[in-house]
Amino acid sequence: MERMESMEPISAHYTTAYPEIQPDSGYESRETTDSQAKTPPAPTYDEELVHKFVLNLTFLQTILVGDSGVGKTSLLVQFDQGKFIPGSFSATVGIGFTNKVVTVDDVKVKLQIWDTAGQERFRSVTHAYYRDAHALLLLYDITSKTSFDNIRAWLTEVHEYAQSDVVIMLLGNKADMSSDRAIRRDEGERLAREYSVPFMETSAKTGVNVELAFTAVAKELKHRAVQHPNEPKFQIHEYIEAQKEKSGCCSYF
Ligand SMILES: Nc1nc2c(ncn2[C@@H]2O[C@H](COP(=O)(O)OP(=O)(O)OP(=O)(O)O)[C@@H](O)[C@H]2O)c(=O)[nH]1
């Protein structure tokens, strides 16, 4: 599959996004003597602005993985369109993607979110996409012990095929189905702690924590790309905990 076929033309962003970056903008205008004219002053260079500019051109690859039926497609549809389509389950065939722009601290972060097929027979297709992933959302279904038990195998695959610095987040989906719950929240938390990855329970049906999951990833990726030297390092775990508390998200799970 040709991966970038639906991307917007890059030139559109180049001309409009950061007009303050002009080819000559690094040179001050001033009178020069003959000798000065031969050695023009070094261009001033705003590193942070350039990073923002580069970020604006780049799609950051985020990939959704987990067993078939855990709700990867539903989570993406909820994030992208704010809706849940109930009814019969139609498994993803191969792979698909959605582009989504998330604004983080006034910077536009462009996520290209890949929705993979959870079925075993598509596994080799999925592996090919791990390498370019900047972030990876790993889902299980809180009503399925098998999908939870398989998380370790998924993480082994991730460590084998993805870049070592990929941002990983563990999500326990279908949190609205509390009466069918097979995995307690603290079990999810414990597994996440074991692998040092952030964790939250989500519901693609009610939308709970869906936006937060993607925003937290976008924030982490943005901070990695545009980290001001004097700025404290972004702590994704702390951010998620603070946001969960703010929204009172978990009281009705
Ligand atoms: N109640 C509830 N049902 C959900 C939720 N998320 C997904 N579902 C349902 O679970 C089934 C599977 O959802 P999908 O989103 O297709 O699962 P998937 O992980 O993309 O599956 P594959 O494409 O086979 O990998 C569908 O019937 C969804 O409606 C959720 O948060 N709550």
Whose tokens are 């604006």? That residue is 56
Structure letter (DSSP) for residue 139: E
pLDDT in tens, 108-120: 899 999 999 999 8
Residue nearest to atom 8 of ligand 1 (CA): 71
Q: What is the pTM for the complete model shown?
A: 0.79
Measured from the Cβ of residue 212, the count of other Cβ atoms closer than 10 Å reads 18
Is 117 a pocket residue for ligand 1 (Cβ < 6 Å)? yes
Task: Tell me how far the alpha carbon of residue 31 lies from the centroid of ligand 1, in angstroms.
Answer: 67
Token pair belonging to 108:
């536009």
More confident residue, 179 or 43: 179
State both tokens at 1: 């599959």
**pLDDT number for residue 121:** 87
- CA–centroid distance, 10 to ligand 1, in Å, is 34
Alpha-carbon gap, residue 191 to 208, rounded angstroms: 21
Q: Does residue 206 line the site of ligand 1, with CB under 6 A?
A: no
Asked if residue 78 has its Cβ within 6 Å of ligand 1, the reply is no
Residue 118 CA: which ligand 1 atom is closest? 25
pLDDT of the residue at 44: 58
Express each pLDDT in 4-14 by its tens digit: 434 333 332 22
C-alpha of residue 174 to centroid of ligand 1, in Å:
8
pLDDT value for 242: 85
Ligand 1 neighbour 219 (Cβ under 6 A): no
pLDDT tens digit sequence for 70-82? 999 999 999 999 9
134 SS3 class: coil
Write out pLDDT tens, residues 118-162.
998 888 888 889 999 999 999 999 999 999 999 999 999 999 999
Q: Which protein residue's CA is at the shortest distance from atom 6 of ligand 1?
A: 71
Q: Which of 113, 117, 125 is nearest to 77 (CA)?
A: 113
Assess whether the C-beta atom of 119 lies below 6 angstroms from ligand 1: yes
Residue 74 structure tokens:
């539903």
Give the neighbor-by-neighbor strand order of the sheet with 199-201: 95-104, 107-116, 59-66, 135-141, 167-173, 199-201
Task: Name the most confidently modeled range: 50-54, 168-172, 241-245.
Answer: 168-172
Task: Please report, for residues 27, 58, 145, 211, the alpha-carbon distance to residue 247 in angstroms, rounded to integers and kept in the order given.
Answer: 48, 31, 28, 12
Confirm or reject: Cβ of 74 under 6 Å from ligand 1: yes
Q: Is 205 in the pocket of ligand 1 (CB under 6 A)?
A: yes
How far is CA 90 from each of CA 81, 87, 116, 252, rounded to the nearest angstrom? 18, 9, 13, 28
